[in-house]
Structure 1
Amino acid sequence: MLFGKRERAIRRILIVEDEPLIAFDNEYLLTDAGYEVIGTVDSLAEAVRVLSEEQVDLVLSDITLRGDGDGMDVARAAAAKNVPVLFVTGNCPIEAHSLGIGCLAKPYTDKILKNALAALDQRLQGIEVKRVPAGLSFYQGLSSP
């Protein structure tokens, strides 16, 4: 702990988003908030490549992606590397509940995204989250990466 702040469990994030404006906004916001964005990709193939080459603490993934595969396929690939996935989507299907650690509903503000990541970080560290940010749902199978 440094000056009253605890170490983050989530430091290196992979963004998987096929809407360029959202991808750019998320990358800028997360970098500004002190996270290391190790990649911003728009397809399953690119996500798998980054997951195989980089150390990743969290994947932020939309469900609908360009090309073959979707966000649930990204979550399966991430699970093989023990990397948690937070879905960011307008409609999170029931099947995603067993694949991700939660879902943040689109649209969301910068503040909601930051608060969601802070709450997720707490939960990953085993700290009780007293107030879950609007639009964020945690799934039951949440465990530490």
Structure 2
Amino acid sequence: MLFGKRNRIVKRILIVEDEPLTAFDNETMLADAGYEIVATVDDFDEAMKVLETKVVDLILSDVRLRSQQTGIHLARAAKERGIPTLFATGHPYPGAAEIAVGCLLKPYSDRQLKAAIASIDRHLSGETVKPLKGLEIYIREPG
């Protein structure tokens, strides 16, 4: 696209974060950046309820959550529905590449989070994305 904005694939984001301040900051910053925040929840069951009733383009989830079910369980369930998950965590999961589209390591700045989501958006549209500090993008196999 010449001199214009490309269309985003990621428009509607579900934030799953059990740290209230982080959740609030992420929600506010991403909404200000033009994303629709479908919901901000802090556990697996609430996130699953949202996935059953709302259209979600990307899940931004911590690995550790308030309930026994973790962001890992959520990413697996989301993958079955064709919804990509970006982990935003201080606790990387070794098998994340099998269930998520990427991992952004905490602590991160607002700028890093916005850049990470923009990179994930470009990656999902098939573009080659150069690595950003603190962000790992996983290659998704078709299907």
Please indicate the TM-score interval, normalised by the length of the shorter structure. over 0.9
| Paired amino acid for 2:128 | E
| Equivalent residue number for residue 43 of structure 1 | 43
TM-score, normalising length: structure 1 = 0.93
On the 8 A contact 1:124/1:143 being kept in 2, the answer is: no
Q: Which moved more, 1:131-140 or 1:65-74?
A: 131-140
How many pairs does the alignment contain?
143
- Partners of 2:127 and 2:139 in 1: CA distance: 15
> 2:66 aligns to what SS in structure 1?
coil
Runs of 4+ in 1 over 3 A off after TM superposition: none
Q: Deviations over 1:29-81 (max 9, x none)?
A: 00000000000000000000000000000000001101220000110121121
TM-score, normalising length: structure 2 = 0.94
How many angstroms does 1:119 deviate by? 0.8
| Equivalent residue number for residue 138 of structure 1 | 137
- Partners of 1:26 and 1:142 in 2: CA distance: 29
Report sequence identity in percent.
50
Unaligned runs of 5+ in 2: none
Unaligned runs of 5+ in 1: none
- Partners of 1:4 and 1:100 in 2: CA distance: 30
| Equivalent residue number for residue 78 of structure 2 | 78
| Equivalent residue number for residue 11 of structure 1 | 11
| Paired amino acid for 1:48 | M
On the 8 A contact 1:15/1:39 being kept in 2, the answer is: yes
